[in-house]
Structure 1
Amino acid sequence: MTATANVILVAEDHPDIRMLIGAVLQSDGYTVVLAEDGLEAVQRAFQTNPALVVTDGRMPTLDGWEASKRIRARFPHTPILMLTVHTEPYEQERGRACGVTAFMGKPFDPDMLLAEVRRLISPR
């Protein structure tokens, strides 16, 4: 199943951060699908087959690690960027075990986020 070009799924439980990430990505021409928790992220991923998933780690209902695991099981080649304040090595190890491709700390620089997004979804 081929990913939907230019569609990025953003899973973040804090509305202001979710909207900021969405605005940054939309300003660069991406189509953004928003989810407020991990469960909604999994559902939306299954509906849209995004080119990239950007997720927080700690969210209600279903955390970003479990959501990443479920998304990775369905879409083994979709990159997953975890954008979180929890960037300690053991958190990154946990994320990698769940299928997370890359990590970025919060607060984040919008230009750095865009650079990482471009890197992750560029043809290999």
Structure 2
Amino acid sequence: MKTILIVEDIDLNIDLLIQILEDDYSLLVAKDGAQGLALTTQRQPDLVLMDISLPIMDGYEATRHIRKTFPSLPIIGLSAHAMSGDSEKALAAGCTDYLTKPVDEDLLLAKLKQYLG
């Protein structure tokens, strides 16, 4: 079973993602960017769902750090702020893809299939 790391600080969003993914994937959860970076290094997940707006270390910085060690790891940036330029900023930081919240379940599952097979 493939492992997905969810890096998200809002419990409601974590619960929603777990509900969508728990039947098909092994899940890890981190509540800030620093913890996400540490879990990625320790557990080496197959994909990371990275919230952009996080405490301690934001998603952009965490992604940049992860990229140094895991250049081919799929990282999907997630943000509730669908501002112009957000997706470009996430991709420039090293995200493989970008989705806005609330996450569209069908789109998320299609992206996971695309990156995880």
TM bin, normalised by shorter chain, reads over 0.9
Once residues 13 and 99 of structure 1 are traced to their aligned partners in structure 2, the CA distance between those partners, rounded to angstroms, is 20
Aligned to 1:15: 11
- On the 8 A contact 1:57/1:86 being kept in 2, the answer is no
Q: How many residues align?
A: 117
Aligned to 1:110: 105
Which sits farther off after the overlay, 87-96 or 9-18?
87-96
Kindly report the root-mean-square deviation, in angstroms, between the aligned alpha carbons of the 2 structures.
1.3
**Gapped regions of structure 1 (runs ≥ 5):** none
Once residues 48 and 64 of structure 1 are traced to their aligned partners in structure 2, the CA distance between those partners, rounded to angstroms, is 18
Moved over 6 A (4+): none
> 2:76 matched to 1:74?
no
Q: How does 1:1-124 map to 2 (within 5 A)?
A: 6-27=2-23, 29-122=24-117
Once residues 111 and 9 of structure 2 are traced to their aligned partners in structure 1, the CA distance between those partners, rounded to angstroms, is 21
- TM-score, normalization by structure 2: 0.92
- On the 8 A contact 1:52/1:80 being kept in 2, the answer is yes
- TM-score, normalization by structure 1: 0.88
Task: Quote the sequence identity (%).
Answer: 33
- On the 8 A contact 2:91/2:98 being kept in 1, the answer is no
**Gapped regions of structure 2 (runs ≥ 5):** none
